[in-house]
Amino acid sequence: MKRKLKIALIVITAIILLIPIFGYVYLFLLPVSVSSLKVSSQISKGNTMVKSGMKTDNKLILKDGRTLGYAEYGDLIGFPIFYFHGGQESRLSSAFMDSTAQIMGIRIIAPDRSGIGLSSFKKNRTFLGWPKDMAELADHLQLEKFSVFGLSGGSPHVLACAHEISNRVYKSAIVCGAAPYDYKGSLKDMWPPVKFIHWLASRKNDNGLRKVIRNDFKTLLEKPGSRLKQFQNYLPVPDRAIMTQRPQYGWEFIDGSVEAYKNGIDGVVQEWKLYVNDWGFRIKDIDAPIHLWYGTEDKMSPYHRGIYLDSELMNSKLHVLENEGHFSLIRNHLEKILHELKDTSPIE
């Protein structure tokens, strides 16, 4: 009897632990028909993202002929801060910052990356090419200096700017950011499905990665309500809470992600491949001031990555926040993050 009870408890515990993983796999990894995929300019039902006063569809023709799309939020004559969106997101993903930035006298400038949203696809792009585009955008906006920060997949783009154009950057910040693929422990405490996508991206044949990305796009486009429920049911507790209490955050994220696929999936696939290959520069060579913000409950970019980056960078400050996740941290602590970026005094 005791043995049966012990087995039953083990099975129940295993089911409880696996439910979030199965939920994530259900929405991201199962095969789907892709014949009906179309890029949509429609805003997701329930969205509250687009507000009057936001300049969300700006375009700059770069010197090489490519188009660079970017949005502006907050105080349009305020202190300039460039925001680099996460992977599978776009310039629209930072709309939630608008009201906070207005109050703080900050101008958020949020560009789309290669093949994302309004930006042209650039074959064979590298992370080190990004600072050149940002310098050109800053020149266009008549900005001599500015701060930069990025979420998740925006991390290597922040680091590239700190490496290449530090003379133009006041301060930088990485929030729940990606780290190089090749250090020991780079995937520690990461969700198995996210580890799986990293593995797919590292393969020479990208058919599996493309299938996962198409599935993501299809769900966002055709079942946005299912994606919001996935956020509310399967993310770590802090992220579930913020998506349940403030569902508009979920809708805003969905709309920003749909926009990422405006040009198709090539830009997203390209960026995933960049994450898991040589970034083209050494982090330990960067001496620019950088704040690192990570949450203890983040399973997409665990806080161990922040510890690693802090150990490599010459002039960084690590903030590990208890009970914060991948989505909750930047929304719950945006004012603190922006305050540090606006403060041009040295990091203490």
CATH number of the domain residue 123 falls in: 3.40.50.1820
- Do 320 and 296 touch, CB atoms closer than 8 A? yes
Give the range among 46-50, 109-113, 241-245, 247-251 with minimum mean pLDDT: 46-50
Edge to edge, the sheet with strand 106-111 lists 55-61, 67-74, 106-111, 79-84, 146-151, 169-175, 290-295, 316-321
Q: What phi-psi label fits residue 115: left (phi over 0), alpha (psi between -120 and 50 degrees) or beta? A: left
Give the range among 40-54, 60-74, 164-178 with minimum mean pLDDT: 40-54
Mean pLDDT over residues 130-159, rounded?
A: 98
pLDDT digits (tens, 9 = 90+) for 313-333: 999 999 999 999 999 999 999
Pairwise CA distance, residues 29 & 191, whole Å: 13
Residue 63: which residues within 8 A CB-CB, separation 6 or more? 136
| Sign of the CA dihedral running 284, 289, 295, 301 | negative
Angle, helices 224-234 vs 247-260, to 10°: value is 130
What does the pLDDT read at residue 347? Answer: 83
**Amino acid at site 31:** P
What does the pLDDT read at residue 344? Answer: 85
Torsion of CA 80, 81, 87, 90, to 10 degrees: -30
Mean pLDDT over residues 104-112, rounded?
A: 98
Mean pLDDT over residues 110-133, rounded?
A: 98
Average pLDDT, the chain: 89
Predicted confidence (pLDDT) at residue 293 exceeds the cutoff of 50: yes
What does the pLDDT read at residue 53? Answer: 66
49 or 131: which leads in pLDDT = 131
What proportion of the chain, given as a percentage, has pLDDT over 70? 85
What does the pLDDT read at residue 54? Answer: 86
Pairwise CA distance, residues 67 & 113, whole Å: 10
Q: Which domain holds residue 254?
A: 6-342
What proportion of the chain, given as a percentage, has pLDDT over 90? 81
Give the range among 42-46, 127-131, 298-302 with minimum mean pLDDT: 42-46
What does the pLDDT read at residue 109? Answer: 98
- Do 277 and 181 touch, CB atoms closer than 8 A? yes
Predicted confidence (pLDDT) at residue 47 exceeds the cutoff of 60: no
Residue 1 lies in a domain: no
138 or 20: which leads in pLDDT = 138
Residue 152 lies in a domain: yes
What does the pLDDT read at residue 104? Answer: 98
What does the pLDDT read at residue 294? Answer: 98
Mean pLDDT over residues 263-282, rounded?
A: 97
Q: Would you place residue 346 in the very low, low, confident or very high pLDDT band (cuts 50, 70, 90)?
A: confident
Q: How many domains does the chain have?
A: 1
Pairwise CA distance, residues 227 & 11, whole Å: 28
Could you tell me the maximum CA-CA distance found in the chain, to the nearest angstrom?
Answer: 77
Predicted confidence (pLDDT) at residue 12 exceeds the cutoff of 50: no
Residue 347 lies in a domain: no
What does the pLDDT read at residue 202? Answer: 95
What does the pLDDT read at residue 272? Answer: 97
- Do 153 and 256 touch, CB atoms closer than 8 A? no
Which residues on adjacent β-strands are paired with residue 81? 108, 147
**Full 3-state SS string of the chain:** CHHHHHHHHHHHHHHHHHHHHHHHHHHHCCCCCCCCCCCCCCCCCCCCCCCCCCEEEEEEECCCCCEEEEEEEECCCCEEEEEECCCCCCHHHHHHHHHHHHHHCEEEEEECCCCCCCCCCCCCCCHHHHHHHHHHHHHHCCCCCEEEEEEHHHHHHHHHHHHHCHHHEEEEEEECCCCCCCCCCCCCCCCHHHHHHHHHHHCCCCHHHHHHHHHHHHHHHHCHHHHHHHHHHHCCHHHHHHHHHCHHHHHHHHHHHHHHCCCCCHHHHHHHHHHCCCCCCCHHHCCCCEEEEEECCCCCCCCHHHHHHHHHCCCEEEEEECCCCCCHHHHHCHHHHHHHHHCCCCCC
pLDDT digits (tens, 9 = 90+) for 204-230: 999 999 999 999 999 999 999 999 999
Q: Would you place residue 15 in the very low, low, confident or very high pLDDT band (cuts 50, 70, 90)?
A: very low
- Do 165 and 131 touch, CB atoms closer than 8 A? yes
Residue 53: which residues within 8 A CB-CB, separation 6 or more? 98
Q: Would you place residue 4 in the very low, low, confident or very high pLDDT band (cuts 50, 70, 90)?
A: low
Pairwise CA distance, residues 223 & 216, whole Å: 10
What does the pLDDT read at residue 1? Answer: 57
